Amino acid sequence: MPQQKYVIDKLISAKSIAARIEELSHEIEREYAGTQKLVVVGLLRGSFIFIADLVRELDLPVEVDFVETSSYGNSMESSREVRILKDLRGDIERRDVLVVEDIVDTGHTLSHVLHLLGSRRPHNLRTIALLDKPSRREADIRADWIGFEIPDAFVVGYGIDYAQRDRNLPYIGKVRFTDD
């Protein structure tokens, strides 16, 4: 099936993202001051750039692990069926865990992952999302830290894709379909 043509309008600049991550890292450092080691869990694939930039800003001992989920496939709409494609490698029992999400849209993915990780008895389980789209929320969930609240638009860049394209953009852009 051929992909519909689209253009990308810049929504959040790379400079704005970097500044916000620096602010968020200071808030997280205050929250986890004195922790032995923070386990930072990235939700793949969309969060990989965000998690890399975030952990480099943190002046804390961190361990990084990943969970890979799928609910979109190559579609612009969530199927609302969350599948775990890759689970954690390490044990999080009695550990401080920070789940890093690229975007909270319907909230189903984050809700599902938090339920899964919560069953493993971490000391505490907190969340950070680069983007929050509250107008689309279906699950009763909100990240503890949010980079940017965005309108109901399909976005790409900074790790977020459309059919595996545009992850490499250094900014967040809004997808606008064209007839050309």
Q: Which residues are identified as catalytic?
A: 105
DSSP string, 71-117: S-TTSSS--S--EEEE--SS--TTSEEEEEEEEESSSHHHHHHHHHH
Token code pair at residue 149: 């609240």
Strands 83-86 and 38-44: unpaired
Neighbours of 99 (CB within 10 A): 23
- 73 by Cβ neighbours in 10 Å (0-12 / 13-18 / 19+) ranks as exposed
User: What span, in angstroms and rounded, lies between the C-alpha atoms of 143 and 133?
Assistant: 11
